[in-house]
Structure 1
């Protein structure tokens, strides 16, 4: 069985959002990683089994890739079940710029395999 990869899709930042929330055109890989690795509702046991996390823009394009070295519980974890991924961003990973096929999931957190990652086409 192929190993799962955790993905988090960032929505476009709204004018009312905090500066650390959401995606904006031209954001750096480091900023995308910081915005995308926390604070999500997720299954901690399933997430920690993944080696990689992909941060996606609203069009499902990979804008950051990082390792999953651990999880940190958020405040009020018992009530809200939110956690942050502990890991390091991987610059120039082969998945950068690829599109991820997430089979219609509206949840920002999803799990995929390498078969769901589509390399960019040369235009």
Structure 2
């Protein structure tokens, strides 16, 4: 499983490659908003990411915000954005992740 940890919400750069106006996490955001905030833009190993079945978007407290099945990656300059099918209503959303994110990096890989 791929896990992406996002910090507090803040304005996105004016040239955000996904066209977002904000990035990061805020209380009360929907799964769709968490997916958009967390799916990119990251530096990661594209082959390793594609080898994962799913991605969890989590906040810095370790709460699962969204779960998606990975279907691909899109190259955005020297970084990547995940493509996937959001699993709306996944029972893990809103609960602590079973895989605490111990890395200082935003992107983590976990064997299941």
Alpha-carbon contact 2:74-2:83 (below 8 Å) kept: yes
Count of residues paired in the alignment: 103
1:55-70 to 2 correspondences below 5 Å = 55-70=57-72
CA distance in 2, matches of 1:105, 1:10: 12
- Consecutive aligned runs of 4 or more in structure 1 exceeding 3 Å deviation: none
TM-score (norm 2): 0.83
CA distance in 2, matches of 1:61, 1:104: 13
Greater C-alpha radius of gyration:
1
Aligned partner of 2:90 in structure 1 is: 93
TM-score (norm 1): 0.77
Structure with bigger helix share is 1
1:38-117 to 2 correspondences below 5 Å = 38-75=40-77, 77=78, 82-100=79-97, 101-102=99-100, 104-114=102-112
Give structure 1 stretches of 5+ with no counterpart. Answer: 115-123
What is the aligned-residue RMSD (CA, Å)? 1.5
Structure with bigger strand share is 2
Cα drift, residue 94 of structure 1:
3.0
Give structure 2 stretches of 5+ with no counterpart. Answer: 13-20
